[in-house]
Structure 1
Amino acid sequence: MSLFVDIRKKLKGFSLNVSFETNGDYLGVLGSSGSGKSMTLKCIAGIETPDEGLIILNGKVLFDSKKKINLKPQERNIGYLFQNYALFPNMTVEKNIGIGLKGSKYEKNRKINEIIEAFHLQGLEKKYPRQLSGGQQQRVALARCIIYKPDVLMLDEPFSALDTYLKEKLQTEVLELLRLYKGEVLMVTHSRDEAYRFCENIVVIEKGSSILIGNTKETFKNPKLKKVAILTGCKNISKCRVISKNKVYILDWDITLELEKEIEEDIKYIGIRAHNFEIVKNGDEQNIIECKINKIVEDVFEYNIIFENKSSKLQGENKTILYKVKKDEWNKIDNKENLYLKISEDKLLFLK
């Protein structure tokens, strides 16, 4: 299984310029709203036409601007789960699933009944979309995609319409259901949690351009680019100045870090995730910040500690830093007025 995409298309406000290749693993297309993620899927599906480029699925050319090849959507064998599921409101569940199926009436009914059982939709066959919950509608739409055995299955923000409780429950269900499908899977999302949970690899799209493609877990561990670090949820990012091979000054936090590893000269930013500080008893070690706490915001299971470097003379909003700590860990600290946090070298993100 493989999908090759290298396309360009001028749009209002920006140009789409996306290039990536898959190898059969689930691929997440991660980016902020309006970055061009859904447009990329529509070009692959044949709903939209790129201005130029090439799209090849399992060796079959779907689009080639130079050779003037542009297969119709129905010729591409692509399953597309739309954001709003796009079920036909005047059709029952079984008719929605089976619409367009070819073969004898017996064969079509057999396939529909098999997938209804696999997707736990028994008892809903005669119901209409308006009579279904959001999760049931999603399962019907997914069953309709998979029954045709497409070469690639594309999911466009599949959980965006669901509330938080339903979302987590359905993500687990959908992961199970996708095991029934053996082809390529592309999932568009702006949720880093969904990308991390579902996708082996991700391509990051920013303002119409694919700026990074790589293994999902490795990308979260080492995003390399400031834009990617932000999309993967890093809250603490500051401009920096490389002083020497082993020393870097963090401008916004007014602290110099001394490191064992060599720092690349072209590093422009330093990031650290909010959970990755370490509480220490005093400031005697290297790379310690003595904290001046500005605000504590309580969440269900943790506290958000908003602080700044106590010894800094800098002014401005960018100097604040976010530390997320579990409640039981925070409650163990006796002297919260004199809080010292260590920045471990292995937790730093070096960004360009």
Structure 2
Amino acid sequence: MMLSVSIRHQFPGFTLDATFEAPPGVTALFGRSGSGKTSIVNAVAGLMRPDAGRIEVDGRLLSDSESGHFLPPHRRGMGYVFQEARLFPHLTVRQNLLYGGWFSGRRDRAGFARIVEMLGIGQLLNRRPLALSGGERQRVALGRAILSNPRLLLMDEPLAALDEARKAEILPYLERLRDETGLPILYVSHAPAEIARLASSIVLLEAGQVIAAGPATRILSDPATVPALGLREAGAIITARVEAHEADGLTRLGTSSGTVFLPRIDAEPQSTLRLRILAQDVMIALERPAGISALNLLPAVVRDLTETESGMLVRLDAGGETILARITRRSAYALALEPGKPVYAILKAVSVAPGSVGNMKRHFHST
């Protein structure tokens, strides 16, 4: 399912002018507060009528200023999860969930049971919202939105109001939602770690303009997008496959460039994972180091170098996938780095964000 958005809207002192396409999967709208993320989601939902432009989902026209067509929100088939859960306080969790099915005309007991199990809310069904934690309320809100049988799920910073513990609680459920329901999701966030973990594609916004859009693997590792993402969050995502669980407690992962070891991961052999590697956690060597505690050393080739205010971003090609390294200019000059030069990437730390399995995020320091 493809979402196509091309809209222009004038706010007092601010112009939203955004054009992009969101393919199947999770498309993250990322940008600073006030960049236009929520306005775009509201336009897709039909809660805002843009001054000009066109929005369609899989060829189904939602709005078009030229023809005057504007489909009202209740006919768009959108599920919307807000920052706050917005549950009905006088209804139980079960009744809140059933409201989603009632609103869509859906009476699917098997589907209800599957969503309840997927979100881990079976023990909450007889409670009321005020007796739930913030993370539990958001899971119920997710379930209600899914049970409305939407064509597209809209999520406006659903973790923004939660503390770090509650975010860690709910992220695995969002991953299961992404992997098991197949629902297209438009996900608003200003947290790079969230989008690196969840998104398959990213739309970067700044002051109402789209400054970059494309696959998450490309956007996150592109030096040109670093100012928008933040230098500390610059990095890359590579794909890995679980090869074996070793006797010493490590899991051996295969990548297109070589082997990576992590503390044991609760995943079956042949499962696919996404590894997030921050640029600040990558060192570069001209030869394979010996007598070093680091386990994760991948051969690579320098693709290009980009100077920043505080150093140098080096983009590496590791077996066809991108790794980004942040080093000092002095180190780059001392190593005489240039495009095409073979090197080794020494990975000091790796974050694991599951691809097709429902693991929790793990962070591994290899030195």
Give me the TM-score of the superposition, normalised by structure 2.
Answer: 0.64
- Match for residue 59 of structure 2? 59
Against the structure 1 CA distance between its residues 110 and 11, is the aligned structure 2 distance closer, same or farther, given a 3 Å change threshold?
same
Letter in 1 for 2:63: F
> Is residue 229 of structure 1 aligned with residue 279 of structure 2?
no
Q: Is this contact kept in 1: 2:116–2:122, CA < 8 A?
A: yes
Against the structure 1 CA distance between its residues 96 and 104, is the aligned structure 2 distance closer, same or farther, given a 3 Å change threshold?
closer
Q: Is this contact kept in 2: 1:9–1:50, CA < 8 A?
A: yes
- Match for residue 116 of structure 1? 116
The SS at the match of 2:231 is: coil
Against the structure 1 CA distance between its residues 66 and 218, is the aligned structure 2 distance closer, same or farther, given a 3 Å change threshold?
same
Q: Is this contact kept in 2: 1:25–1:184, CA < 8 A?
A: yes
Larger Rg: 1
Letter in 1 for 2:326: N
Against the structure 1 CA distance between its residues 272 and 57, is the aligned structure 2 distance closer, same or farther, given a 3 Å change threshold?
same
CA shift at 1:173, angstroms? 2.4
- Match for residue 214 of structure 1? 214
- Match for residue 147 of structure 1? 147
Whole-Å Cα distance in 2 between the matches of residues 202 and 42 of structure 1?
18
> Is residue 200 of structure 1 aligned with residue 200 of structure 2?
yes
CA shift at 1:31, angstroms? 0.2
In structure 1, stretches of 5+ residues that fail to align are 238-259, 288-300, 302-325, 330-352
Alpha-carbon RMSD: 3.6
CA shift at 1:117, angstroms? 3.0
- Match for residue 39 of structure 2? 39
The SS at the match of 1:179 is: helix
| 1:274-309 residue CA offsets vs partner (Å, 9 max, x unmatched) | 96227999x96558xxxxxxxxxxxxx9xxxxxxxx
Against the structure 1 CA distance between its residues 100 and 169, is the aligned structure 2 distance closer, same or farther, given a 3 Å change threshold?
closer
Which of 269, 276, 298 is equivalent to 2:326?
276
> Is residue 15 of structure 1 aligned with residue 15 of structure 2?
yes
Q: How many residues align?
A: 265
Against the structure 1 CA distance between its residues 81 and 222, is the aligned structure 2 distance closer, same or farther, given a 3 Å change threshold?
same
- Match for residue 129 of structure 1? 129
The SS at the match of 2:120 is: coil
1:229-308 mapped onto 2 (5 Å cutoff):
229-234=226-231, 272=312, 276-277=326-327, 286=336
Against the structure 1 CA distance between its residues 190 and 278, is the aligned structure 2 distance closer, same or farther, given a 3 Å change threshold?
same
| 1:24-47 residue CA offsets vs partner (Å, 9 max, x unmatched) | 132110000111101100000001
Whole-Å Cα distance in 1 between the matches of residues 116 and 152 of structure 2?
21
- Match for residue 90 of structure 1? 90
Whole-Å Cα distance in 2 between the matches of residues 179 and 286 of structure 1?
43
Whole-Å Cα distance in 1 between the matches of residues 308 and 14 of structure 2?
26
Give me the TM-score of the superposition, normalised by structure 1.
Answer: 0.66
The SS at the match of 1:155 is: strand
The SS at the match of 1:99 is: helix
CA shift at 1:178, angstroms? 3.1
Against the structure 1 CA distance between its residues 284 and 94, is the aligned structure 2 distance closer, same or farther, given a 3 Å change threshold?
closer
In structure 2, stretches of 5+ residues that fail to align are 235-301, 314-323, 338-348, 350-363
Against the structure 1 CA distance between its residues 124 and 206, is the aligned structure 2 distance closer, same or farther, given a 3 Å change threshold?
same
| 1:78-98 residue CA offsets vs partner (Å, 9 max, x unmatched) | 111111121112211111112
Over the matched positions of the two proteins, sequence identity in percent amounts to 30
- Match for residue 165 of structure 2? 165
Against the structure 1 CA distance between its residues 194 and 170, is the aligned structure 2 distance closer, same or farther, given a 3 Å change threshold?
same
The SS at the match of 1:107 is: coil
